[in-house]
Amino acid sequence: MRDQLKPVRDESVRVLIVDDHALFRRGLEMVLEGEPDIEIVGEASDGDEAVRLAEETAPDVVLMDVRMPNRSGLEATRAIKETSPATKILMLTISDEETDLYEAIKAGASGYLLKEISIEEVADAVRAVYTGQSLISPSMASKLLSEFAAMLNRKEGRDLPEPHLTERELSVLKLVAKGLNNREIGAELFISENTAKNHVRNILEKLRLHSRMEAVFYAVKENLLDIK
């Protein structure tokens, strides 16, 4: 029954696994190899090897640990996104530090999941980030909002550009910040999914942002979201 629910694709989602624990890499490999729409293109045990393999294999999604020897997952994420912006990075880690979460978002990660999730859930997470969704472990969501709220009261980091968004784009941005995907945004605003996708792309281009995660940060910083 579960196999009938899996999406059918002309091409597999190509995944690179990066973790310094061999047993954990093997566990991920065993689970993901059982998914007909996912292909493992390589494994790396540290950040340096991850960057090299990403250049060689051009994966669609990288499953990336945060704490690793030689080069951290955060550093590797920045390097991979610099050379291959289309590659999606999904952090999969034991680190529940707010700084690691925030730095991962700034580096361009599309998701941040703790290893407390079931290993069987990883395949669905890979598919989600591959299709453009952003994922954060529920236990980290409140920490993310707390970090955003704190940033409203300090002047650290680069200044974000002044907004030049239309009313419709502001409406779309608010829904992105609430975690809605393109289909849900379309339904909410009575527009097509493709139109919603185009609005999101235009918003990111206008604000010089790189991901939906950064759009959430922007929405909070500009008081488009209520932080309780």
End-to-end Cα spacing for the chain = 42
- pLDDT tens for each residue of 145-156: 555 555 555 444
With cut-offs at 50, 70 and 90, classify the pLDDT of residue 36. Answer: very high
Domain boundaries 158-221, corresponding CATH code: 1.10.10.10
Residues 102, 88: Cα–Cα separation, whole Å: 17
Please give the pLDDT value at position 106.
Answer: 83
45-49, 173-177, 178-182: least confident range: 178-182
Please give the pLDDT value at position 154.
Answer: 46
Nearest of 32, 26, 71 to residue 52 by alpha carbon = 71
Residues 18, 76: Cα–Cα separation, whole Å: 10
Stretch(es) of the chain classified as CATH 1.10.10.10: 158-221
Stretch(es) of the chain classified as CATH 3.40.50.2300: 3-147
Nearest of 95, 103, 59 to residue 80 by alpha carbon = 59
- What is the tally of helices (H) and strands (E) in the chain? 10, 6
Which three-class secondary structure state does DSSP give residue 107?
A: helix
- The residue among 147 and 68 whose pLDDT is bigger is 68
DSSP tag of 3: G
- pLDDT tens for each residue of 98-108: 778 888 888 88
Domain boundaries 3-147, corresponding CATH code: 3.40.50.2300
pLDDT at residue 11 greater than cutoff 80:
no
User: What pTM was computed for the model?
Assistant: 0.64
Please give the pLDDT value at position 24.
Answer: 92
Please give the pLDDT value at position 141.
Answer: 65
Angle at alpha carbon of residue 185, lines to 184 and 187, rounded to 5°? 65
Please give the pLDDT value at position 225.
Answer: 57
